[in-house]
Amino acid sequence: MASHIPTLQQILDRKSLPPVCLYNLYIVMRDRLRNEEILDFYLDLKHHEVLWRKYIRSLVKGGILDESDVKDGVNSVSLATKVQMFEKKITTHATTSPQSSVRASVRVTSSFIRTPDILKDHQEQIIHLHKVQEAAERITHRYVVQSAHKELVELPLKLRVDIVGNLQDQGRYDPLIFADAKAWAFNAMQHFTYNKFIDIKANGNLTQWHQIFRLCFGLSVLFIAFTVELTMLFLGWQVWGSRTWVSKITERMTNI
């Protein structure tokens, strides 16, 4: 049985089937364990990685990167450095253009698309960059910063400081700034959630409503049995006959 139980990584990658699936994992973490924020955080990070891969593909398609730049994967440090150079170049053109209104930060907005030269030539790349930046900022403001809507209070302070520093001070939006936090979230679910989820869904294979129904049914049958027994006792009903095992013992004793 244990060999057929999917791992946590398979569940998170949607490679498992009900009842041990991502949907049921979320339901258990939300309704039973009350820690669904960690799963939300992990899934948002995976979505950010998807947006980043689309952004990298658009850079390769636009000739800004070549195949040798992505030979080590889309999450390499060298690739993130080259991409950041392109983002700074875009920001420089945007801040010097009279047709764009840009904040003091490095964030690229949709108004850049209406600017000439390099901004006009790379509209697709800028759109993907804008989505990556929005996703990174949304994750930070929802889970990382203090008093966030779904603040992960268990997230180590060092990871919080590193994420905010990379995002605000260095202007980085690549998935590497969340790598340690993602590993922390996975380990937290592995140690504190996975085993409990398997016990509930795989070994027990009972939902909370099933457990409540069986408990109520058992108590009802027990109540009826006591009611009938006490009714017969207080009304003085005669026993309908000796029990079978009593009759046999008595018969054997008489034959000795």
Q: How far apart are CA 22 and CA 248, in angstroms?
A: 59
- Poorest-confidence range of 113-127, 173-187, 213-227? 113-127
| Range picked from 3-12, 127-136, 219-228 for highest mean pLDDT | 127-136
251 falls in which pLDDT band (50, 70, 90)?
A: low
Lowest model confidence (mean pLDDT) among 107-116, 139-148, 222-231: 107-116
Model confidence over 3-36: pLDDT tens digits? 588 999 999 999 999 889 999 999 999 999 999 9
3-class SS of residue 171: coil
As given in the structure block, the two tokens for residue 116 are 């000439």
Higher-scoring residue by pLDDT: 91, 69? 69
pTM higher than 0.85: no
How far is it, in rounded angstroms, from Cα 77 to Cα 176? 8
Q: State residue 104's pLDDT score.
A: 37
Q: What pLDDT is attached to residue 238?
A: 59
CA distances from residue 253 to 3, 246, 247 in whole angstroms, order as listed: 56, 11, 10
In the prediction, which pLDDT does 157 show? Answer: 95
In this predicted model, which residue has the larger pLDDT, 100 or 225? 225
Q: How many CA atoms lie within 13 A of 131 on its CB side?
A: 17
Q: Provide the pLDDT for residue 1.
A: 45
pLDDT digits (tens, 9 = 90+) for 42-57: 999 999 999 999 999 9
Question: Residue 157 and residue 181: Cα distance in Å, rounded?
Answer: 11
* Mean pLDDT confidence for 216-233: 85
Torsional sign, CA 181, 182, 186, 187: negative
The predicted pLDDT at position 200 comes to 84
What's the pLDDT score for residue 56?
A: 93
- Checking if the pLDDT of 250 tops 70, the result is no
Q: In terms of pLDDT, which residue wins out, 7 or 231? A: 7
Task: Establish whether the linkage from the previous residue to 18 is cis, with ω within 30° of 0.
Answer: no
- For residue 124, pLDDT beyond 70: yes
